[in-house]
Structure 1
Amino acid sequence: MKGNVEAESIKIFGEADIEGHVTLKDLNLRGAVHIKERLVGGHIHGYGELKIENDCEADSISLKGAVAIGRTLNAEKVSLYLHFEDSRIEEIGGEVIRVTKSKAFNVINFLKRFRHDSAKLVAESIEGDDIYLEYTKAKVVRGKEVTIGPGCEIDLVEYQTSFQQDEKAIVIDSKKV
Structure 2
Amino acid sequence: MPALNPMPESNKPLKINGSRICRGDMDASHVEVLGHLHVSGSLSTARLKLRGECSIGLSCHAQELSSFGSLRVTELRGVSITANGYLSVTGEAAAEEFKAEGCVRIDRLSCTSTIRIKLGSLCKIRHMTSEGDIIVSPSFKLLPIPLSPFRKLRCEIIEGADITLYRTQADLVCGQKVTLGPGCSIREIRYRETLTVHPRSQVGKIIQMNT
> TM-score normalised to the size of structure 2?
0.77
Deviation at 1:111, TM superposition (A): 4.5
Task: State how far apart, in whole Å, the 2-side matches of 1:97 and 1:156 are.
Answer: 17
Identity of aligned residues (%): 26
Question: Partner residue of 1:112?
Answer: 146
Deviation at 1:49, TM superposition (A): 0.7
Task: State how far apart, in whole Å, the 2-side matches of 1:119 and 1:44 are.
Answer: 21
1:170 equivalent to 2:202? Answer yes
State the aligned residue count.
169
The match for 1:151 among 180, 183, 186 is 183
Larger Rg: 2
Question: Partner residue of 1:3?
Answer: 41
Task: State how far apart, in whole Å, the 1-side matches of 2:77 and 2:87 are.
Answer: 13
1:138 partner letter: A
Task: State how far apart, in whole Å, the 2-side matches of 1:141 and 1:163 are.
Answer: 11
Measured against aligned partners, the alpha-carbon deviations of 1:126-159 in whole angstroms (never above 9, x if no partner) come to 0000000001000000000000111100000000
Root mean square deviation, CA, Å: 1.2
1:132 partner letter: T
Deviation at 1:69, TM superposition (A): 0.6
Task: State how far apart, in whole Å, the 1-side matches of 2:134 and 2:47 are.
Answer: 24
> TM-score normalised to the size of structure 1?
0.92
Task: State how far apart, in whole Å, the 2-side matches of 1:110 and 1:138 are.
Answer: 22
The match for 1:86 among 111, 115, 122 is 122
Question: Partner residue of 1:99?
Answer: 136
Task: State how far apart, in whole Å, the 2-side matches of 1:33 and 1:104 are.
Answer: 20
1:40 equivalent to 2:72? Answer no
Structure 1 segments unaligned to the other structure (5+ residues): none
Residue 46 to residue 21, structure 1, CA distance change in 2 (3 Å):
closer
Measured against aligned partners, the alpha-carbon deviations of 1:79-115 in whole angstroms (never above 9, x if no partner) come to 00000x211111000011000111225xxx24425x6
Deviation at 1:118, TM superposition (A): 2.5
- List structure 1 segments (4+ residues) > 3 angstroms apart after TM superposition: none
Describe the SS at the equivalent of 1:3: coil
Describe the SS at the equivalent of 1:81: strand
The match for 2:192 among 120, 141, 160 is 160
Q: Which has the higher contact order (CA 8 A, sep 6+)?
A: 1
Task: State how far apart, in whole Å, the 2-side matches of 1:38 and 1:45 are.
Answer: 15
